[in-house]
Structure 1
Amino acid sequence: MNSLVISDYGSYVTVKRGMFLVSRKVNDKEERREVSPSEVDEILFCSTSLVSTHVLRVALSRGITVAFLDSRGQIWGLLLPSVVTETVRTKKAQYEAVASGLDYGKEIIRAKINNQVVHLKYWARRGVKTDYRELEGKDEATAARIYWQNLSQVVPGFRGRDVEGGDGFNSALNYSYAILYSRVMRALVLAGLDPYLGFVHKDRPGNESLVYDFSEMFKPYVDLVLAKAFKDGLEVKLKGGLMDKESRGAVAKLVVKGLEEKVKEELDHNPKSLNQAIRAHALKFASALREKREYRGFRMVV
């Protein structure tokens, strides 16, 4: 998936001669760049910017997702193209599965823990002492505690996962997950699924439960992308406990690039990007619901 990342404060995006035109002022001079809509699958606004309605109309008519992220990495707006597949049948099957107590959530959590093990094993093979075997057979909460404790041995200055933590790695994780959520949301909606009805996270008004459920399988790969960058010396600057705009832009570009890297998957001999894997699994999950059969989650190999 090709992303147009708008991270510079005060940028203005419009359409000129069928091209997206991104403008911003630098030292009283205006910089411009043109991007063809045919080269974009997603537009990410990571800072306060101006955008014309013409841009939104062109984007959605071309099947381009538009996501707006605040300084905390929370998605405050997401525009999706209206083309979906098997909408009625899929949603009906999803509602029936939840109502009948079919527990697809167990497989999602098993896949998540598997991928946490694989992530830690990656570092163990590179000389970092990790207790990745301790995660196997554990419940989600216990596995998470062991996982983050071990990851603190990899990332300099990281003391453990804390959503409210004011350190650079936790802030980068929050922001990166927001980008992942936008990709998962797009994939689920286009597969005809209801993103607000999940199997693991509780259903609350405005809570994209299935998005959070489905993202769990892919988070360890995002963690790996960030851990590599921080171990190689990436530093983010914090202001008031949040990343500054330059850091947000850098992290966004890093994650967008990472999502396009090829990742191997168990029982799949055709490596694909994580974006492609997310889309493929959304369709696979929707199909499993419609056909009332088991679903095998995403299990990465690195």
Structure 2
Amino acid sequence: MAEVDGAERARLPLHRIGSVVAVGAVYVSPALIGALARGGIALVLLDRQGRFEARVEGPVSGNVLLRRAQYRAAEQPEEIVRSIVSAKVANQRAVLQRALRDHGDDFAPERRSAVEAAVERLARILRRVAFEAGGVDVLRGAEGEAANLYFAVFDDLIRVPDPALRFRGRSRRPPLDAVNALLSFLYTLLTHDCRAAAEANGLDPAVGFLHRDRPGRPSFALDLMEELRPVLADRLALSLINRRQLSTRDFETRDGGAVLLTDAARKTVLTAWQERKKEERRHAFVDEVAPLGLVPHLQAQLLARHLRGDLDAYPPWFWK
């Protein structure tokens, strides 16, 4: 049961809850924490800025044999990294292509040319990733080059004229404009879902392939989200702004220049996030229709099957 100002606002049975995310000064009773832990439901605490503070969960069983296979694969991760980077770049390119197809006639000629050039350069990067050797560092370099190209034209995908909602490049800690504040919040939510997917499939969320190991960082969860965030997070951010579900009044600027979502705006984003995850797409590899919110679990499951030797390679997720 959820209460706001002493009034009951929601009541849900635990078996219908996948995870709980509490943003800001939210009181969670010890009884609820215990019930969530027993039910295998993770509780994630974020501060008002959307930064991760803590994660509370019950015992994590983790398949020790699978995790050993994951650790061995992390020593020579080139082919898994190739799959992840291929899907990320392809999905970034698909986001730009969709924008050109749906709204290309509204672009200024020089900006349309810039987006078309980015699409073509991303295609060349895809070919390099697929066919060129060179090791993991070369693949990481290609991923970084693609990200720079993609975000260089990301502002062109924003169709509202408000100068306070322009995107001037990626800024993270802290976000320095409204678009970055929105992206960072959505990426935090997606990271949480990817970490839950890794743990649910017996994988270690801290041992990645594309992202180097670092104490306290869920490197594998970050790997998993790379191929998903152009579609699940970036397109949702664009939709919220372009459909005017968010405006300048939904952001506040703090001392030092950090830009944050307001409390009301976070509720809007969380509602849209849940609705986005209900949308269904056909998964090309498993050839079944599944909600977008289930894709992190499907990808973690496919990687686990590859690590066990059931699949010759890890099949990444491409947005169609």
Give the aligned residue type for 1:124: L
Find out whether 1:181 has 2:191 as its counterpart.
yes
Aligned to 1:300: 319
Query: What pairs up with 1:91-170 in 2 under 5 angstroms?
Result: 91-128=67-104, 129=112, 130-131=115-116, 132-138=119-125, 139-155=142-158, 156=160, 157-163=166-172, 164-170=174-180
TM-score normalised by the chain length of structure 1? 0.85
What's the offset of the Cα at 1:295?
Answer: 0.6
In the TM superposition, residue 252 of structure 1 has moved relative to its aligned partner by 2.0
Find runs of 4+ consecutive structure 1 residues off by over 3 angstroms: 80-85, 100-103, 264-269
Output the CA distance in 2 between the equivalents of 1:223 and 1:73: 17
Q: Which one-letter code corresponds to 1:220 in the other structure?
A: P
2:16 to 18, 27, 39: 39
Q: Report SS of the residue matched to 1:125.
A: helix
Deviation string 1:217-276 (CA, Å, 9 cap, x unpaired) is: 111011111111211112232241222222222222222221221134434542211221
Question: How far, CA to CA, are the matches of 1:300 and 1:84 in structure 2?
Answer: 32
**In structure 1, how many angstroms separate the alpha carbons of the residues matched to 2:37 and 2:85?**
33
Q: Which runs of 5+ in 2 are unaligned?
A: 105-111, 126-141, 161-165
Instruction: State the alpha-carbon separation in 2 of the partners of residues 38 and 267 from structure 1.
Output: 29
Match of 2:4 in 1: 24
Q: Report how far residue 161 of structure 1 moved.
A: 2.0
1:56/1:259 Cα in 2 relative to 1: closer, same or farther (>3 Å)? Answer: same
Deviation at 1:104, TM superposition (A): 1.2
Give the TM-score normalised by structure 2.
0.81
CA RMSD of aligned residues (A): 1.9
Contact persistence 2:36–2:57 (CA under 8 A): no
Counterpart-to-counterpart distance in 1, 2:213 and 2:39: 32
Which residue of 2 is the match for residue 230 of structure 1?
Answer: 241
CA contact 1:63–1:81 (8 Å) conserved in 2: yes
**Which residue of structure 2 lines up, in the alignment, with residue 10 of structure 1?**
none
Paired letter, 1:52: S
- Shift of residue 74, structure 1, vs aligned partner: 2.1
Q: Which has the higher strand share?
A: 1
Inter-CA distance 100–201: structure 2 relative to 1 (3 Å threshold): closer
Structure 1: which 5+ residue stretches go unaligned?
Answer: 1-20
223-232 vs 71-80, which deviates more? Answer: 71-80
**Compared CA separation, residues 256 and 23, structure 1 to 2 (3 A):** same
Q: Letter of the 2:29 partner, please give it.
A: S
* Identity rate, percent: 23
Q: Distance in 1 between matches of 2:143 and 2:243?
A: 29
Secondary structure, in 3 states, of the residue corresponding to 1:286?
A: helix
Task: Give, as a single letter, the amino acid of the residue that structure 2 aligns with 1:140.
Answer: E
**Equivalent position to 1:58, from 29, 35, 47:** 35
Equivalent residue pairs, number: 276
